[in-house]
Amino acid sequence: MPRIDCSLRIEYAYWLLAAFFFAAAWMNTRERRWAAATFWAMLGVLFAGGDWALVAQKAGDARPVQGAGSASSHWPCSPH
């Protein structure tokens, strides 16, 4: 009989947080709060794409990780 792995992984928590951030972005979009919606959507993308970025980095492509760092570091400097 094959053994089934039922252990929790940290990725599940990240995906749950990403879903929460996308829901917050959607609610802010419905209220036409564009800056807040952009912030929450960007945070959701960062959390949802973390696995993909790490796989790309391990394969030798650092662009996804650099893009995530660039996007998150320039957010406070954007004009209001």
Residue 23 is predicted with a pLDDT of: 98
- Residue 78, pLDDT above cutoff 60: no
Classify residue 69: in a domain, yes or no. Answer: yes
Classify residue 2: in a domain, yes or no. Answer: no
DSSP assignments along the chain, one per residue: -PPP-----HHHHHHHHHHHHHHHHHHHHHTT-HHHHHHHHHHHHHHHTHHHHHHHHHTT--HHHHHHHHHHHHGGGS--
Classify residue 5: in a domain, yes or no. Answer: no
Residue 16 is predicted with a pLDDT of: 94
Residues spanned by the domain of 51: 11-74
Question: Which carries the bigger pLDDT value, residue 55 or residue 68?
Answer: 55
Classify residue 35: in a domain, yes or no. Answer: yes
Characterize 14-27 residue by residue with b for buried, 16 or more Cβ atoms within 10 angstroms of its Cβ, and e for exposed.
Answer: beeebeebbebbee
Classify residue 25: in a domain, yes or no. Answer: yes
